[in-house]
Amino acid sequence: MIVVFLTPAVILFLGIFLYPIVRTVIMSLFNIEGVTDPMKLWTFVGVDNYVKLFNTSLFRTASFNLFRIWLYGGLIVMTLSLLFAVILTSGIRGKKFFRAIIYMPNIVSAVALATMWLQYVYSPRFGLIKSILETLHLDNLAKVQLLDNEHKFMALVLAYCFGMVGYHMLIWLSGIERISPEYYEAATIDGANKIAQFRYMTMPLLKGVFKTNITMWSVSSVGFFVWSQLFSNVTADTQTITPYVYMYAQIFGGGNTVTERNSGLGAAVGVLLSLCVVIVFTICNKVIRDDDLEF
Amino acid sequence: MKKKQIMSVLLCGVMAVTTFAATGVSAQAADKKELTYWSMWNSTENQAKVIQEAADAYEEATGIHVNIEWKGRDVKTMIGAALDAGEAIDLFDDDFQRVVEQDGKYLVDLTEMAAAADYEKHIMPVLLDQAKKWGDDKLLVMPYQPYTTGVWYNKDLWEEAGLTDEDVPETWDELVAACKKIKEGGSGLNPMTCDSDFVNLLYGFQLARYVGQDKVMDIINNCEWADVPEAKKAAEEIQSLFSEGYMSEYAPANGTDGQSEIGYGESIMVLQASWVPNEIIQTTGTEVNWGFFPWPAVEGGTDGIEGSMVGSQGFGIVAKSEMQQEAFDFALSVCTGEYDLKMAESVNSIPADTDNTQWPAAILGAEPFFKNVTKSYMWAVGFQTNADYKEIIQEHLINLATQKETPDEFIEALAAAKK
């Protein structure tokens, strides 16, 4: 009987999850022109695709960009989202309103958001930042082109973070609201102020949520693609390229012209990115232990 | 009770009649021939409207319905996978080089059908040569909506800046002189502008004028930047356009902000493909009185104004299609004759059919030069052909334009960059 109930789930799991993973790993060992080419057209190259990736300066640049997005963006998003979550759970008025406002960028299409940042905020002609700086008579700063090679990366990260804060704030909120208010009442009676309560109660009890947030952030960062595409028009550049964009260019070709394609190389990028997420998840599990507290 | 029985009988009757009628309709539908066409356009684009009109006319004339799926530019990523998966597609379109080089394995050789319809004489020789070269002498693509590339300028602003037709440059020195005259004329207009994605056109054209397309590819493929003195010379000259203040202060601009300056009446010239007049109308809503001249020749250069980046969109007919002839006939109706002319008029593009000699007014200035193009350059003279290298070239070109790198540093950086 158990077999009857399990079989559909097992078949679906094998077909939808395991098969693509195994096929991607195998593909990464071959040179494949078109992503759907039959196996008879594949050429076995062993680990050459991986060697080529590590020797390609553009892929190294893309990986470094991803690391910077993960690190800088992670610091900004985690800090801001936690701050908002703590403020919203501190009993302020209009909690639902502010929660909706902060989450709103998540329900707006990334294309619309990026267009807003590019055309409205960063525009060197009439951008919000330029106008503010000019109002403050900081004319030299107002002349800085925020979308040139020097500043484009940070402009991209800031815009991306704006869209991500709300999502992670909700995860923090759910964690904080799980903590019984009785603990805070007891702490208040014992004389602990808000900062001490946050430092010695909220933070330790949010370790599990922190782990979830880091994992979710890593997964979404690894798939960094749309924002990169939107911040670079026809072709990606060294400030906006990420491994996903590089993978896309290898599989489907990039830019206005015909470029050499190798889906095997693209698959190798996919395998490496998956390994990155697994490594981050494993490190999080080892470093952050949330099974020492029960509440 | 009796009422219920009567009602049941009536309902059964209605069901039977409906089923019979539906079967009849579907049988009739199955009899009707249908072509499936995956399009690179979105249904709201002007090109799509002309193609839809051509499809309706084709159906009226032949009774064959053209089922058009508007896939947009993503057709380039989807078509191979779809055909491999057995999707029944009779024809599709995309950039004509990509149709041949990337998807040629799915396509039928059109040589015989073209001969029967005497089609080749309708194709511009420069496009036909390219298509056959990529297709190993087979005709795998039917070009339409061709483009050429050169300097587009706002004639009214040109005159406002105190220049006449005699100032239209043919050489690099004359271009610099024209820029200088505009800048010093006190009109406040920027002589030129550009967008960051198209700095490669500026440097690409200048380098190709010195050494020709093939040598440019050698430089890219073998990292010969430091060994070819013209590479540095071209870098110096292009940088001088920026350092001398001949470019807009926002250039190289993000997106299409640079080219829009022409429509806003701030800048006079932009180096772009022949789609730019249409794009500027769409973006700024301004009808510009356009002039055109090819990128100028340089002293001692291999190529003159006979070299240009030309290309087009193109239809490919799928080899597995059971309606190849019908697909060819439909594509032919778009690529030639009335609908080719309609396409040209609706998007200000070059007519593909050599019999259609009337160019839209916006791009008319390019006509005499286009006819004399004998050397076809790749897009951005091939700076985008290497997926591992193009972003690096792009980065240093922007640095060159923004003067963050000297021409020496630019050459050094590109020579050092490993492919």
Burial class (CB in 10 A: 0-12, 13-18, 19+), A18: exposed
When scoring A64, A256, A260 by the number of chain B Cβ atoms within 10 A, the one with the most, hence best to mutate, is A256
Q: ∠B384-B223-B311 over CA atoms, to 5°?
A: 25
- C-beta atoms of B390 and A235 within 8 A: yes
Which pLDDT value is given to residue B208? 97
A38 in B contact zone (CB under 8 Å): yes
3-class DSSP state for residue B271? strand
For residue A129, give the DSSP letter.
Answer: H
Give the C-alpha separation, A18 to A15, whole Å: 6
In chain B, which residues have their Cβ closer than 8 Å to the Cβ of A246? 387
pTM higher than 0.90 for the full model?
A: no
Residue B248 pLDDT: 95
Q: Taking CA atoms, what residue in A is nearest to B377?
A: A257
How much is the pLDDT for B391? Answer: 86
Q: Apex CA B341: angle with CA B340 and CA B346, to 5°? A: 100
Beta bridge partner(s), residue B92 = B38, B316
For B356-382, what is each residue's pLDDT tens digit?
Answer: 999 999 999 999 999 889 898 999 999
Query: How far, in whole angstroms, is CA A241 from its chain's centroid?
Result: 14
Say if CB B29 and CB B35 are below 8 A apart: no
Q: Give the one of B250, B255, B384 whose C-beta lies nearest to A255's C-beta.
A: B384
Q: In order along chain A (295 residues), what is the average pLDDT of each group of 10 residues?
A: 90 94 96 91 95 93 95 96 92 91 92 91 90 92 86 94 94 92 91 89 89 92 92 81 93 80 95 92 85 69
Predicted local confidence at residue B418, as pLDDT: 56
Q: At what angle do helices B390-401 and B407-416 cross, to 10 degrees?
A: 170
* Model confidence pLDDT, tens digit, residues B325-363: 999 999 999 999 999 999 999 999 999 999 999 999 999
Q: Any idea which of B153-157, B189-193, B195-199, B295-299 has the lowest mean pLDDT?
A: B195-199
pLDDT, position B25 = 47
Output the CA–CA distances (angstroms, integers) from residue A93 to A90, A96, A99, A101, A173, in the order listed. 9, 9, 11, 14, 16
Burial class (CB within 10 angstroms; exposed 0-12, middle 13-18, buried 19+) of B143: buried
How far are the Cα atoms of A278, B36, B323, B330, B334 from residue B57, in angstroms, in the given order? Answer: 57, 16, 18, 10, 11
Task: Compute φ and ψ for A240, nearest 5 degrees.
Answer: -115, -10
Strands B290-293 and B311-317: unpaired
Give the pLDDT confidence score for residue B74 in this predicted structure. Answer: 87
The sheet carrying B311-317 orders its strands as B65-70, B34-39, B91-95, B311-317, B142-147
Using the Cβ of B378 and the Cβ atoms of chain A, whether some distance falls under 8 Å is answered with yes
Question: In angstroms, rounded to a whole number, what is the distance separating the alpha carbons of residues B280 and B348?
Answer: 11
- Predicted confidence at residue B19, as pLDDT, reads 55
Q: Single out the residue of A16, A230, A61 nearest to residue B389, CA to CA.
A: A61
Confidence of residue B1 (pLDDT cuts 50, 70, 90): low
Cβ–Cβ of A241/B391 closer than 8 Å?
A: yes
Residue B255 Cα to chain centre, angstroms: 17
CA atoms of B82 and A166, how far apart (whole Å): 38
Q: pLDDT above 90 covers what percent of chain B?
A: 80
Q: What is the ipTM of this complex?
A: 0.78
Considering the four listed CATH numbers 3.40.50.300, 3.60.15.10, 1.10.3720.10, 1.20.120.420, the one that applies to the domain covering A57-287 is: 1.10.3720.10
Degrees, nearest 5: CA angle A48-A49-A50: 90
* CB-CB under 8 Å, B395 with A237: yes
HSE of B132 in the Cβ direction (CA atoms, 13 Å)?
Answer: 11
